[in-house]
Amino acid sequence: MQATATEAFPHSGAHAAHHQEAGFLRTYVFSTDHKMIGLQYGFTALCFLLFGFFLMLMMRWQIAHPGKPVPIMGPMLASLLGNVAANGIISPDLYNSFGAMHGTIMVFLAIVPLAFAAFGNYLVPLQIGAPDMAFPRVNMASYQFYVLGGTVMFFSFFIPGGAAQAGWTSYPPLAEVVQTNGQTFWLIGMIFLISSSLLGAVNFIATVIQLRAPGMTWMRLPFFVWAQFVTAFLLLLAFPPLEAAGILQLMDKVAGTSFFLPTGLAVGGKLAHISGGGSPLLWQHLFWFLAHPEVYVLILPAMGIVAEIIANNTRKPIWGYKSLVYSVLTIGFLSFIVWAHHMYLTGMGTKIATFFQTTTMLISIPSVIILTCMFISLWGGSIRFNTPMLFVMAFLPMFGIGGLTGLPLGLSYSDIYLHDTYYVIAHFHYIVAPGTIFAIFAGIYYWFPKITGRFMNEFWGKIHFWGSLIFMNLIFQPMFAQGMAGMLRRMADGGANYSGAKTPDTVGGLSPFIMGLHTWILWAAVGLALVQIPFVINLFWSIKHGPETHSDNPWDSTTLEWQTPTPPPHGNFATAPLVYRGPYEYSVPGHERDFTPQNEPDPACEPSPA
């Protein structure tokens, strides 16, 4: 507890002391406090983020140097995983496992838990002026399910045959005919993770509906809360179909059913001993019914973080608050009717393809509105270029690149050529890596002072930012070229078999330049790993040794999370906050200070209970 906080909130000291009686287990492991659960989510998810990143590093080595032992990590791989990594060489089976698990871990165990569960848990109750989430014990259960799911996923690497090998999309029949238990582990892990998301989503929505402080009307909610609210709805309604699909595929694996296995399926040259009659396309529909809204689950919380940081650092209200709110609601709705644009190559027919092309083009409109509002918000602002703001400023064009390169994939004509190439990888990584992950970094630097009472180091923060920005672009920009040259994703040799060098008399072989980009990307990825080192050290060092904030509201912010003691005690607010105004009252003419907190009394306006 900071000295300043105790002065500003005389009751908070006694309040905190009352709760310090709880033991270590209740405080750190089985906590029901939304802030501790948020931090648990954040820490676990950051570990998985790093783990997923290392999987990718080893894959990049294998792609650039197929069949050569992995330096440094190779002996460890060989001793941990045995035959699949004999002599430290990544076998094609292991490469497939790494590919499937990189995607699964990054999406379901790293980014969503960070952007939605960690930031949402910590901030949503604070920003709406609530003492906690609506169902604290459900919240704890949500985290525990997440850890269980993560554990199952992680340990599947060490079972005989290794982890799932059929990509994060797990398309049957391939996913089901691989003769190992990796896929079964994957499915059980996913069922835990989905249950965790469902509990979290119910909790978030109920919290926003029920626990808004008096005066916190819907149109006074910070945009971050709106983004989380819509995200929670996407998780609530889109995840259950994947849970259903997961149950069906699990039945196929363990009970011998044929939900996704067609009649006449041959495996290894022999007719499979199955009843048949299933439909592989059914899986794709159920999977993408989740997985497209999932894309918005990845990006909407990031947009929420970006809006908060832009408003604070331009010292201006966010431009077009209402447009932002309606756009995010529109995205939420439309995201449920675009899923089959991942399936143009399945032969579902041009009429259906036309419908999904139309909805896909429609959903880009609210996305562009949001991005445009963010850009216009910068106009005429007196911008503070601190580390969180730098990450946010980079988010805008990076997300722009990711979004615009998605348009050719949403149109079936161009998608038929680009489908399943490195172009797709570059496209969605631009959205998730320098998009969402940058927003997550920005959020960590921005809210760190609220959690610890100390700033993170600015100098190393800037090193982290510039390094990440440069290396991420060096990694993903060449992939657009590779994809347009026709290089397919998911190949354990990085496309060497299709290179012009290997098949000189074939038209359209991959040129030496395109193949050479692999080396380029590998070293950029190593560079990206190196510039994360200052971030990790900065994060832990600053908890104890960062410069002190000397204020509960060091960024001079208007939203309610900064109007609490630092760090917020159990129950958050010393006295129940009353809300008198909108979330972004920066630089209001005629006011003494350039920010007016939401709970600053306004003599002209009494808070209404809604």
Partner 1 sequence: MDIPYTVEARPDTGLYNAKVGIWLFLASEVMLFGALFSAYILLRVGAPAGYWPEGWLNVPLGTLNTMVLITSSITTVMAWASLKMHQFGRFKLFHAITLLMALTFLSIKSYEYHDKFTHFEILLKDGRFADGHIIERAPDHIVIHGRIVNDEKALYNLHEKHIQLKEVTIQRSQIKSMERYGPWHNTYCALYFTLTGLHALHVIGGAIVIGFLWGPGSKLWETDPERFTNRVEVSGLFWHFVDLVWIFLFPVLYLL
146 binds partner 1 (CB under 8 A): no
Residue 529 touches partner 1, criterion: CB under 8 A: no
- Using the rule CB under 8 A, is 255 a contact of partner 1? yes
- Binding part of the chain for partner 1, among 230-238, 367-375, 421-429, 513-521 by CB under 8 A, reads 230-238
Q: Is residue 347 part of the contact set for partner 1 (CB under 8 A)?
A: no
Tokens of residue 506, six digits: 């074939």
134 in contact with partner 1 (CB under 8 A): yes
Among 48, 143, 259, 535, binds partner 1 (CB under 8 A): 259
DSSP states of 315-333 = TSPPTTHHHHHHHHHHHHH
**Residue 280 beta carbon to partner 1: minimum distance, rounded to whole angstroms:** 11
Binding to partner 1 by residue 491, rule CB under 8 A? no
242 versus 363: smaller Cβ distance to partner 1: 242
Site membership for partner 1, residue 171 (CB under 8 A): no
**Binding flag, residue 258, partner 1 (CB under 8 A):** yes
Residue 565 gets the label, from left (phi > 0), alpha (psi -120 to 50) or beta, of beta
**278 near partner 1, rule: CB under 8 A:** yes
Query: How far apart are CB 178 and partner 1 at their closest, in Å?
Result: 19
Residue of 49, 84, 164, 286 that binds partner 1 (CB under 8 A): 286
- Residue 78: both structure tokens together: 């060989």
Q: Which residue has the tokens 């009429």?
A: 351
Residue among 163 and 191 whose Cβ is closer to partner 1: 191
Q: Which two tokens stand for residue 259?
A: 């939900």
Whole-number Å distance between alpha carbons of 85 and 227: 43
Q: Which of 61, 288, 289, 422 binds partner 1 (CB under 8 A)?
A: 289
Q: Does 136 bind partner 1 (CB under 8 A)?
A: yes
Q: Considering the rule CB under 8 A, would residue 153 count as an interface residue with partner 1?
A: no
Q: Which residues pair with 595 in a beta bridge?
A: 586
Match 């939900």 to its residue by tokens.
Answer: 259
| CB nearer partner 1, residue 199 or residue 433 | 199
Least distance from C-beta 38 to partner 1, angstroms? Answer: 16
- In the region spanning residues 567 to 596, those forming contacts with partner 1, defined by CB under 8 A, are 571-573, 576
Q: Find the shortest distance in angstroms from Cβ 246 to partner 1.
A: 10
Residue closer to partner 1, measured from CB, 199 or 309:
199
| Minimum CB distance to partner 1 smaller for 256 or for 380 | 256
With binding defined as CB under 8 A, does residue 271 bind partner 1? no
Q: Nearest approach, Cβ of 226 to partner 1 (angstroms)?
A: 17
8 Å CB contact between 50 and 106: no
The gap from C-alpha 140 to its chain's centroid, in whole angstroms, comes to 20
| Residue 135 touching partner 1 (CB under 8 A) | yes
By the rule CB under 8 A, 288 interacts with partner 1: no
Interatomic CA distance for residues 284 and 291, integer angstroms = 10
Under the binding rule (CB under 8 A), the answer on residue 121 touching partner 1 is no
198 counts as binding partner 1 under rule CB under 8 A: yes
User: Is there binding between residue 244 and partner 1 (CB under 8 A)?
Assistant: yes
User: Could you give the C-alpha distances from 580 to 312, 313, 603, in angstroms and in order?
Assistant: 19, 22, 9
Identify which range of 172-180, 255-263, 483-491, 504-512 contacts partner 1 by CB under 8 A: 255-263
Q: Is 243 in the site for partner 1 (CB under 8 A)?
A: yes
Closest CA to 291 of 107, 439, 49, 158: 107
Burial 518-546, CB ≥16 within 10 A → b, else e: beebbebbebbeebbebbeebbeebeeeb
Q: What is the DSSP string of 181-221?
A: SHHHHHHHHHHHHHHHHHHHHHHHHHHHHH-PPTT--GGGS
User: Which of 37, 57, 130, 164 contacts partner 1 by CB under 8 A?
Assistant: 130
3-class DSSP state of 23: coil
Please list, residue by residue across 459-476, b when 16 or more beta carbons sit within 10 angstroms of its beta carbon and e when fewer do: ebbebbbebbbebbbbbb
Q: What is the largest CA-CA distance in the chain?
A: 82
For residue 298, what are the contacts with CB-CB under 8 A and spacing of at least 6? 107, 111, 112, 115, 431, 432, 436
Check residue 6 for interaction with partner 1 (CB under 8 A).
no
- SS3 state of residue 548: strand
Segment interacting with partner 1, rule: CB under 8 A, options 55-63, 125-133, 459-467, 507-515: 125-133
SS3 of 503-536: the string is CCCCCCCECHHHHHHHHHHHHHHHHHHHHHHHHH
Q: Is 592 helix (H, G, I), strand (E, B) or coil?
A: coil
| Coil, helix or strand at residue 605 | strand
d(CA 422, CA 425): 5
Binding segment toward partner 1, per CB under 8 A, in 254-262, 311-319, 454-462, 496-504:
254-262
Q: Which stretch binds partner 1 (CB under 8 A): 68-76, 270-278, 457-465, 520-528?
A: 270-278
In the complex with partner 1, the residue whose CB is nearer, 136 or 527, is 136
- Residues between 543 and 572 with contacts to partner 1, criterion CB under 8 A: 571-572
**Count, residues near partner 1 per rule CB under 8 A:** 49
Q: Which of 8, 147, 177, 206 binds partner 1 (CB under 8 A)?
A: 206
Q: Are 221 and 189 in contact (CB under 8 A)?
A: no
Q: Which residues bind partner 1 (CB under 8 A)?
A: 130-132, 134-136, 138, 198, 201-203, 205-206, 209-211, 236-241, 243-245, 247-248, 251, 255-259, 274-279, 282, 285-286, 289, 571-573, 576, 609-610
